[in-house]
Amino acid sequence: MDTMTPAAVLRRREMVCTSAGEIDVVIDAPENGAGPAIVLLPSSQRDSLDFDPLAQQLALLGHRVLRPQPRGMGRTTLPLEPLTLHGLARDVIDTVQALGGGSAVLVGHAFGHFIARVADMDHPQCVRGVVVAGAAARVFPAGMAESLDLASDSRQPAALRIAHLQRAFFAPGNDPKAWLEGWHPELRAIYRAAGRVPPKDRWWTVANAPVLDLQGAQDPWRPPESRGELQDLLGAQQVTVQVIDQASHALVVEQPVAVAAAIARWMALLPEGGGRSAGAAHGV
């Protein structure tokens, strides 16, 4: 157990063996037993250690929280090429089957929600629900991708990076300096290419499991006019929208307590078991 982790939560790491290599998984669970499984998937060029506060909160609420380290990060040894969203989704499902009892809620932060949505499309029997946390609008607003590239580039001056972190990731009043560290820009091209296979038009319209669309109230990647686009597409019965105050694109680190509470409330309403929701699946 980590010395900074409350006694009520146990944290450990395990390696999940697959035919292609091993997945390094951080596990947070209640000391008195593990509840429903949740898998946390990080945003572009960042690893799952960003979720430390959120994982702790979810475990305190009674959940078993799994955080597979993405390919190229931590001790994960799976190959980086060729890489697609299908392959990254398979990594998630391997983790769920090994450590999550075969079915879990997937929480994808920003780019991580691409993987969560494709996992739901490819392996619906293993997905109880999908939380899209800080998902951008279907068409990225102008300037956001450029801010991501500058913010993640350690070769740029710190002041410039902080300005773009504040612009694109953190709400006014929230300190972006912690995100000067923790980037993997050497993996940018590999993951950007992976994010195009399959194309967004293939998975965007598909939802087998219920979806919680968590949005930061000050997220420039998700302007107000785009708030309802996923719910409008898939239906209010399939998609629940909740806006988190005093949060931007990095809402999982800006407001971990509020995010954990929203996820836990929504999960309490999910049907038991994995796979499709009570309503018909949506797709093309």
- pLDDT bucket at 22, cuts 50 / 70 / 90: very high
Residue 103: closest CA among 88, 75, 86, 123: 123
Stretch 151-172: mean pLDDT: 98
- Asked if residues 76 and 23 have their Cβ atoms less than 8 Å apart, the reply is yes
Residues in contact with 241: Cβ distance below 8 Å, sequence separation at least 6, in sequence order: 213, 215, 227, 228, 230, 231
213-253 confidence digits (pLDDT tens): 999 999 999 999 999 999 999 999 999 999 999 999 999 99
- pLDDT, tens digit, for every residue of 45-86? 999 999 999 999 999 999 999 999 999 999 999 999 999 999
- CATH code reported for the domain at 10-140+184-268: 3.40.50.1820
Mean pLDDT of the 255-283 span: 77
Mean pLDDT for 277-282 is: 43
CB atoms within 10 A of CB 138: 12
The pTM score is: 0.93
Check pLDDT > 60 for residue 281: no
DSSP notation for the chain? --TTS-TTEEEEEEEEE-SS-EEEEEEEEETT---SEEEEE--TTB-GGGGHHHHHHHHHTT-EEEEEPPTTSTT-----SS--HHHHHHHHHHHHHHHSTT-EEEEEETHHHHHHHHHHHH-GGGEEEEEEESPPPSSPPTTHHHHHHHHT-TTS-HHHHHHHHHHHT--TTS--GGGGSSB-GGGHHHHHHHTTSS-HHHHTT-BSS-EEEEEETT-TTS-GGGTTHHHHHH-TTTEEEEEETT--TTHHHHSHHHHHHHHHHHHTTSPSSSS--SSPPB--
Query: What does the pLDDT average to over 98-103?
Result: 97
User: pLDDT category, 33, cuts 50, 70, 90?
Assistant: confident
pLDDT of amino acid 273: 57
